[in-house]
A = this chain, B = another copy of it.
Amino acid sequence: MREKASLRGLWATGETGIAPPGEAGSDTRMVMEEPRTRIQRKNRETILEAALEVFSQHGFRGATLDMIAGAAGLSKPNLLYYFPSKEAIHVTLLSQLMDTWLDPLRELDAGGDPMQELRGYVRRKLELSRDFPRESRLFANEIVQGAPRMQEGLETDLKALVDEKAEVIRGWIAEGRIADVDPHHLIFSIWALTQHYADFDVQVRAVLGPSRDPLAEAEQFLDTLFTRLLAP
């Protein structure tokens, strides 16, 4: 299950990093298909990977183009050949992230066994925290600071999906198959508890000391917690 590196492979290529110049005259197509050359694909990947590292550690303003360029092994002007601005890199990262972040919730199946479905969701979400902590922190940074570049996505895509799944959960409760809890807050609690282990990693480790394995313990603890909370 464990998987190193980033989610890049799974993502559609971003729409924000407007492709390089040099096509005004000769080509009249309206839609520009994604990164054309082998080099472009590779370098955009490299830049986004480096930017994820730097943005997740320092936040948007704390990150500098020089840091990203350094991490990517490219020159600063070269970054700006592939992305029109620092902000474009950041937005690309965020919009790709949004999709990935919601996938585990999308998998929640109204037809499955309620208890198993919800425990599965918790497990998948915790796996994201374990395997993609940088993505989690990138997201956390953005939200804590008021989500200046995401608010719309939250109020449309995210709300729609959550409302839909909340309705599913409400159905399970009505059928008496899980205990009666507010579905929205149930989902929040899953987010809060799982993401905590990625976002507040330093705190968790500082308190537990070096010899314990936070994520492994969390898996058990959270399974117990939600089992007791939801048992009918």
Using CB atoms and an 8 Å cutoff, list the residues of chain A in contact with chain B. Answer: 57-62, 137, 140-141, 143-147, 151, 154-155, 158-159, 162-163, 179, 181-182, 184-186, 188-189, 191-193, 195-197, 199-200, 202-204, 206-209, 217-218, 220-221, 224-225, 228-229, 231
With contacts A62-B59, A62-B60, A144-B144 taken as known, whether A196 is within 8 angstroms of B207 at the C-beta atoms is no
B196 x A192 contact (CB < 8 A): yes
28 interchain pairs, CB-CB under 8 A = A59-B59, A60-B62, A61-B61, A62-B145, A137-B144, A137-B145, A140-B140, A140-B199, A140-B200, A143-B200, A143-B203, A144-B144, A144-B199, A154-B203, A154-B207, A158-B203, A158-B207, A159-B207, A181-B221, A184-B207, A189-B221, A189-B225, A191-B196, A191-B200, A192-B193, A225-B229, A228-B229, A228-B231
A85 to B147, CA, bound (A): 28
Query: Which residues of B sit under 8 angstroms from A199, Cβ to Cβ?
Result: 140, 143-144
Nearest-Cβ distance from residue A229 to partner chain B, whole angstroms: 5
Within the complex, the shortest CB–CB distance from A182 to chain B, in Å, comes to: 6
User: A196: which B residues are within 8 A, CB to CB?
Assistant: 188-189, 191-192, 196
Shortest Cβ-Cβ A-B pairs, 10 listed? A192-B196, A154-B206, A61-B62, A185-B221, A192-B192, A155-B206, A61-B61, A59-B59, A147-B202, A162-B207
Q: What are the residues of chain B within 8 A of A155 when measuring CB–CB?
A: 206
Q: Is the interface of A mostly helix, strand, loop or mixed?
A: helix
Residue of B nearest to A61 (CB): B62
How many chain copies?
2
Please judge, given known A-B contacts A140-B144, A145-B57, A228-B179, whether A188 and B202 are in contact too, CB under 8 Å: no
Q: A62-B59, A192-B192, A229-B228 are in contact. Are A202 and B146 (CB under 8 A)?
A: yes
Among B60, B147, B225, contact of A203 (Cβ-Cβ < 8 Å):
B147
The residue of chain B having its C-beta at the shortest distance from the C-beta of A225 within the complex is: B229
